[in-house]
Amino acid sequence: MGTTAMRETAEGAAHAAGARAAGAIRAWENDPGAPDAPYAPISRPRPALAAAPLALAIAQPAPGGRDAPGTAVFRYWAAAEALRRASDHWASVIGPGARWHPAVGAALPVELDGGVELNAYYDRAALHFFHDTVAGHACFTGESPDVVCHEHGHAVLDGVRAELFDAPFAEAAAFHEAFGDVSAMLAALRLASVRDALLDATGGRIHRSSAVSRLAEQLGWAIRQSTPDAVERDALRNAANSWFYRDPAQLPPSAPASQLSSEPHSFSRVLSGAFLHALSGMLLARGDGAVDGDAIAEVAADAAALLHAAVGAAPVVPAYFSQVAAHMLAADAHAFGGRHRAALTGAFVKHGILSVPSATGLTAGGGEQLRAAAAAFGEVRADAAAAGDGRPDEPAAGGPAPAAGAAGAAALRRVTLPGAAFGLTADVIVEAPAHAPRFAVAGATPDLGSVAHPPVERAAASFVEDLLRRGRVDLSAAGERRAALDGPLATKSHELRPDGDALVLRRRLFDCGFGAA
């Protein structure tokens, strides 16, 4: 970043020089921030990416020279440190079965600078980062641990639950974005210095706004210079929020950051907000009353394990958020005897991910339904083994059973949508996981009760139309030329490919959502 070199004091430079002599590098804790941010680099062990349990491979060789902020050397090591920290985190949660999607291979490639664009994305081939100069300041998305760990989270989730990549549901796409933001927060919390600063900033109420809850401040600042209403006032997104669930089909396809829309990054804030509230509740409800850095590390590990277990077991359905919430509660009953039930339920009800009837139904009778449902994790593992998933059956010590990423992966339902409804000359085929909800739960309506589960066909049609409205679909391979649908200013996250007399929708990538083609 152009002005970061100015942030170093003589004392800090001397300290960093001594650290480098001992084989360390300098990096950011979680984000460089806006040009006037007071953040300074910290010393970290030199990361070995090929040796990570979830291995990585940066395309560019490590540059030589002094790693002063603002240099290519610093950016390389800042990205490498964040990547290794994120890989160490998720490998510790997933266990020996941790791996990337088969299309990626043994090591996830990383392109640190793919050219001029305020964007970053994961495309089942690599992680891609970019740069641009805004108001005289250079912004490299690969320099921000928030952005790096977010995109890394997409790749982790794709390895755990591949069905989510192409699932034609708004909540599945939004969950991918929420998982990326949660990954960035959890990776930051691995640092003791971040946990201590979080306690100072929030007084132990860690659901309050902080450097941890504010995601990608630097990228948010850069986007805000040209499109002020596209991002939040102090970051790209902030997990310290009170967004309340709405049926995404009833929301506009895009909106200012001050409103909720069905656009995946916007809608993801409902779930990332609930996760942060749950984490805060878990911390404050600890039996020993400890609210310190070690306690934050412990509840963060618990929350990550519950999320991973729920992702592996929850069926991929249109109302995906409520299924994940219910499975996190079941995982808590399985692994921790319901220790975190109140914190989880309170967070999911506050954000409307579980309606009041859904939450009370799950926890009635002292959580009898949840205790019975905990056995579902064993059933899912057995299904995965029968499908050749190859994941270990034994849970990590003290944690929930491992997720079964391939459970139901081969069962896809081809849904044909009339192309004429979208102004196309051929019908559109989407492939949806052929799953049914495991729990009778739903999100909340704004006034009273629960949202009705949408049929798969309607949810898929709404998802496709939203993509077309946002100009996110590449029509060129399909031979379709529709000026109204071209969306020349949008990165194409999807494409339509010929499939006999029809067109099949395929996802290309998960990106930041702000890049111009």
> How confident is the model at residue 378, as a pLDDT?
53
The closest alpha carbon to 428, from 332, 331, 503, belongs to 503
Q: Please name every residue paired with 42 in a beta bridge, in sequence order, or none if there are none.
A: 27
Contact in structure between 164 and 178 (CB atoms under 8 Å) = no
> How confident is the model at residue 366, as a pLDDT?
66
Give the CB-side neighbour count of residue 67, counting CA atoms within 13 A.
Answer: 31
Residue with tokens 């209403």: 229
Measured between alpha carbons, how far is 83 from 80 in angstroms, rounded to an integer? 5
Given pLDDT bands bounded at 50, 70 and 90, which one contains residue 21? very low
Quick: pLDDT tens for 346-396: 999 999 999 999 999 988 766 677 776 666 555 554 444 344 333 323 333
> How confident is the model at residue 123, as a pLDDT?
97
Quick: pLDDT tens for 259-281: 999 999 999 999 999 999 999 99
Token digits of residue 126:
């690599």
CB atoms within 10 A of CB 380: 25
Contact partners, residue 330, CB within 8 Å, separation at least 6:
310, 313, 370, 373, 374, 376, 377, 439
Which DSSP helix (H) or strand (E) runs through 294? helix 293-313
Measured between alpha carbons, how far is 117 from 128 in angstroms, rounded to an integer? 11
The rounded radius of gyration (Å) of the Cα atoms in the chain is 22
Measured between alpha carbons, how far is 149 from 184 in angstroms, rounded to an integer? 5
> How confident is the model at residue 162, as a pLDDT?
96
- Residue 480, pLDDT above cutoff 80: no
The burial of 437, by beta-carbon neighbours within 10 Å (0-12 exposed, 13-18 middle, 19 or more buried), is given as middle
Q: Please name every residue paired with 507 in a beta bridge, in sequence order, or none if there are none.
A: 494
Measured between alpha carbons, how far is 363 from 352 in angstroms, rounded to an integer? 16
Helix (H, G, I), strand (E, B) or coil at 8: coil
Residue-range domain boundaries for the chain: 4-386, 412-511
Taking all residues of the chain, what is their mean pLDDT, rounded to a whole number? Answer: 88
Contact in structure between 59 and 112 (CB atoms under 8 Å) = yes
Amino acid at 305: A
Amino acid at 194: V
> How confident is the model at residue 481, as a pLDDT?
62
Helices (H) and strands (E) in the chain, counts: 14, 16
> How confident is the model at residue 384, as a pLDDT?
42
